[in-house]
Amino acid sequence: MSGLLARLFRGTPPGFTGALAPTEAIVSWSPVRGGGLLAASTLGLWVPTDDGPRRIGWHLVSKATWDNGTFVITEADEVESAGEAVVLADRAPLRFVVERPGKLPQAVHRRVTGSIRSRHHRDLPGGGAWFVQRKVPGRDGTVLQVRPDPGADLDLVRSIAHEVAERMGEGLADV
């Protein structure tokens, strides 16, 4: 279903002011305490900000938890490249009290876990790192993301990430 048709049949939430991409559709949403909406779309999670809604791509949602009416979202930033791999750093978690969750928790869970193709934690000196292959909404293929643990040797993490990404590109390695 095209993005326009999907929006016509699923609808855009009342009061939503985000600029959806042409092929993007809202699949679930809920108002949050204090104003604004959390809205799960085909491309990411829209969160309320003082400047209006902002979309976090599913591949940049490190963690999303739901407990007693509160959503806690941890977003990652792509801080550098290591060859074809991307090194991530988590932002401080965002907390939203959801008034009527409906199917939003299930939609978020399904989209976040659906973006993950494989994941592996590797222990390294001083701390380890997560190596995660993820599908990026709207793009073909996967990206290798690397999230170092606190205290991990970043030079070593970059080196391993670069090597793994090269081997994946040659079809020789999987995370």
pLDDT in tens, 48-57: 999 999 999 9
Contact between 55 and 45 under an 8 Å Cβ cutoff? The reply is yes
List Cβ neighbours of 82 (8 Å cut-off, separation of 6 or more): 146, 157, 158, 159, 161, 162, 165
User: What is the tens place of the pLDDT at every residue in 18-27?
Assistant: 999 998 999 9
Q: How many other CB atoms are there within 10 angstroms of residue 134's CB atom?
A: 22
Helix, strand or coil, per DSSP, at residue 153: coil
- Domains of the chain (ranges; CATH) run 3-169 (2.30.29.30)
DSSP secondary structure letter of residue 69:
T
Give tens-digit pLDDT for 103-155: 999 999 999 999 999 999 999 988 999 999 999 887 888 899 999 999 999 99
- In the block, residue with structure tokens 């606190």: 150
Residue 7 clears pLDDT 50, i.e. is over it:
no
CA 89/CA 79 separation, integer angstroms: 6
